[in-house]
Structure 1
Amino acid sequence: MDHRLPAAVLWDMDGTLVDTEPFWFQGEYALAEEHGGEWTHEDALNLVGNDMLVTGAYLRDRWGLEFTPTEMVDKLHDKVVASIAASDDVPWRPGALDLLESLNEAGIPCALVTMSWDVMALPIVARLPRGRFDAVITGDKVVRGKPHPDPYLEGAAALGARPADCIAIEDSNTGATSAETAGCTVITVENHVALAPGRRRIAQPTLVGLTPTRLGELLLD
């Protein structure tokens, strides 16, 4: 019997493909220290999955600074990119590389759909030890970021697929809302934040053991 397969798979990056969230947290604390502001773990969790300009505005307002959101994002990126560059190993999420490689082998196109900007996302993609993405949609290339559907709509369009025929993989409520609103089936894998249920969300404990066939079985009508 023929198995239904997803037309494409759309991947979030931070916390889903690679566990960069600790690098973001460290960068935020470092900026707080530089500017004499307070910062808490709750603040950090509030920013997971956000559009970077939303993050930049949050940082500025939290500390009463006069920088623009873009300037705050640039400052944060400088810290995070430097930390990742200095790291010997990229902390790939369990099962992520195996799944990406198996999707490539099955001929299922994959796109990275991230709110990180090119300066952050492209070095991560360049360090993939195996597997590839056929398109990369970054936060500085979309008009409206997550939780709006635009990033996932653009990801599906870049691969020539209908969102309803796509699987999205997410670790944040903001990102899951974006993919869900776009019409994708969303595989959610909790990492740093608790994930709420949703009508097009299917919770999985990990990416380990997931295959193209299994993703096809999970695809919602």
Structure 2
Amino acid sequence: MDGTLVDTEPYWMAAEHELVAAHGESWSHEDALMLVGNPLTVSAQILRERGGVRLPVEDIVRFLLGRVVEQVRERVPWQPGARELLAALGDAGVPCALVTMSYRELAQPVADRTGAFDVIVCGDEVERGKPDPQPYLLAAERLGVDVTRCVAIEDSPSGIASALASGAATLGVEAVVPVEAAPGLSRAPSLERVDLATLARIVAGDPVDLLAPSELSPR
């Protein structure tokens, strides 16, 4: 969700900077990039260890989540092409799951804006978060489908690792951090470049690399 469908990463980063500054420490953009895609408890532990935040993990999570939820309630910052792709999937009758390390408190309002998801798997509802494959395996199980017949769309290294490990065909879409080439990984610069035909190719085992130099010319 965060980074792939909605551009909430700036919200998270602002909350991290605010919290670290309140404890008299500094937090760089590079520090913030390390947290992208992590389970919230992992990010909270890093804020304790590297950011000097002297609070329990659960209090850090509560602060970050509260700040981001406040902003999302004011405005959902959709990524280009996200709503259009979800609408096309819905029109085609393709079952969809939202797999996010954000907690349901944040994920549900975003999902409700689309009506596109049959299943939601959240970070506070799994034992092992990304990069473990459990979230994607659970989503496929709840959808009642074979995970190898699914396309997972991700933007972060931990999310991509989770999706690939689950056996899902995986599409990495660049958002905050670069998507490095990897065997079997499809890539795109934006969801605006992704349509149903693209997803059909990917799930059929034909990786698509729209970030390759030959594919970067404007269309």
Q: TM-score, normalised by structure 2?
A: 0.89
* Partner amino acid, structure 1, of 2:32: A
| Counterpart residue number, 2:140 | 156
| Counterpart residue number, 1:175 | 159
> Does 2:187 match 1:203?
yes
**Matches of 2:47 and 2:26 in 1, distance apart?**
10
* Partner amino acid, structure 2, of 1:175: G
> Does 2:13 match 1:14?
no
Counting matched residue pairs gives 205
- Unaligned stretches of 5+ in structure 1? 1-12
Report deviation, 1:92.
Answer: 0.7
Report deviation, 1:220.
Answer: 4.6
**Matches of 2:159 and 2:193 in 1, distance apart?**
23
* Partner amino acid, structure 2, of 1:126: D
Deviations 1:158-196 (A, max 9, x none): 111111110000111110000000001111111110112
Question: Identity, % of aligned pairs?
Answer: 43
State the Cα RMSD in Å: 1.4
Aligned counterparts, 1:1-221, within 5 A: 13-85=1-73, 87=74, 89-128=75-114, 131-221=115-205
- Unaligned stretches of 5+ in structure 2? 206-219
Report deviation, 1:126.
Answer: 2.4
Name the SS for the 1:115 alignment partner.
coil
Report deviation, 1:84.
Answer: 2.2
**Matches of 2:123 and 2:39 in 1, distance apart?**
7
Report deviation, 1:90.
Answer: 1.6
Report deviation, 1:201.
Answer: 1.1
Report deviation, 1:144.
Answer: 0.4
Deviations 1:128-160 (A, max 9, x none): 3xx510011000000000001001111111111
Report deviation, 1:102.
Answer: 0.8
Deviations 1:75-112 (A, max 9, x none): 11111112222x3x321111111111111111110000
Q: TM-score, normalised by structure 1?
A: 0.88
Name the SS for the 1:208 alignment partner.
helix
**Matches of 1:127 and 1:61 in 2, distance apart?**
36
**Matches of 1:114 and 1:170 in 2, distance apart?**
10
Give runs of ≥4 in structure 1 deviating > 6 Å.
none
